[in-house]
Structure 1
């Protein structure tokens, strides 16, 4: 199918061609909607870079899952639904990340992009990641679902087939383990965290 035979204003044509793996149709959709979607996302985010990243994720998913797209839904509605979902997940992760930092009493200024601050912050993330990976498998899985994916105790319990009480217990043990081990490294990361304990 050549470029000239695709009607730019007919969403159904573009969507059908996309579902068949037509790269020209995909490019037309990208250039037709990228600007509008970016403006829509940008209103909810502090930086253009974050908006660009979400746009990339949306169009990557659009291509990867093109065969599963609902042909009965308008292309415009489909794209805005995808954008809203990606934006929601992004904002949810940001909230979880802030809660995660606050939970350990950290006082890293995430807006400070100085070289020293970034090095120290990266050291902290690496240390936390190593400690999390060293936890028992089930505890690690529960903790990641809570702190990385932002799932509620109820959602985790349903996903793993365990009780909410078990989820709560595993989270408490994980936090206790992390705090205790992070305390031991205070002399290395003193400028970064733990104003309380």
Structure 2
């Protein structure tokens, strides 16, 4: 058996399929930084990039016996990383649309007195949760959602990078979705 640091990718994949932890470690060490750099460039968030790479390599180990490459190992890992990144981006879009729809609902819904009372209560809950965000995150979120400024406009106004704006909004949406998701569900259960 050749030294693993000089083994070809095909040899490493064969050893990996047989359960070689050493081959797995060599693949990890060979590709982790390249894949992490790619994920970070696309996501702009080191923690998210770390998560993508950890999930990728966890899946590589778990599904090692099912790996049959039709291309190079690097292309396989790159494609798997890209697919995970696309899933994250799509999930962020869904989260953003969810919170936006809650805000639109809370701002525009007109109905009976009973519904108006619930609407006001819902708006108070949403405003309270927004106010509970960390100050900088809240400021960025409010400029985005209430003042309808673009990421670039917010970055210029606050003298921060667009990536920071994007990350702050993403984190705010995640926090609000977790906090408001349960509240909205309870309101719907108790009022209908």
* TM-score band w.r.t. shorter chain: 0.5 to 0.7
Gaps of 5+ in 2: 105-125, 139-171
Gaps in structure 1 of 5+ consecutive residues: 132-179, 185-197
Residues 37, 55 of structure 1: 8 Å contact kept: yes
| Counterpart position of 2:10 | 12
CA contact (8 A) 1:14 1:25 kept: yes
2-structure distance, mates of 1:60, 1:113:
33
Task: Give the alignment of 1:25-40 within 5 angstroms.
Answer: 25-40=23-38
Q: How many residue pairs were aligned?
A: 132
Equivalent positions of 1:159-178 (< 5 A) are: none
**Conserved in 2, the CA contact under 8 Å of 1:12 and 1:75?**
yes
Question: Which residue in 2 is equivalent to 1:181?
Answer: 188
Q: C-alpha separation between the residues in 2 aligned to 1:31 and 1:65?
A: 18
Aligned counterparts, 1:41-190, within 5 A: 41-105=39-103, 112-113=133-134, 122-128=178-184, 130-131=185-186, 181=188
- Matches of 1:38 and 1:119 in 2, distance apart? 25
1:7 and 1:13 in contact (8 A); partners too:
no
Runs of 4+ in 1 over 6 A off after TM superposition: 116-121
Q: Which residue of 1 aligns with 2:158?
A: none
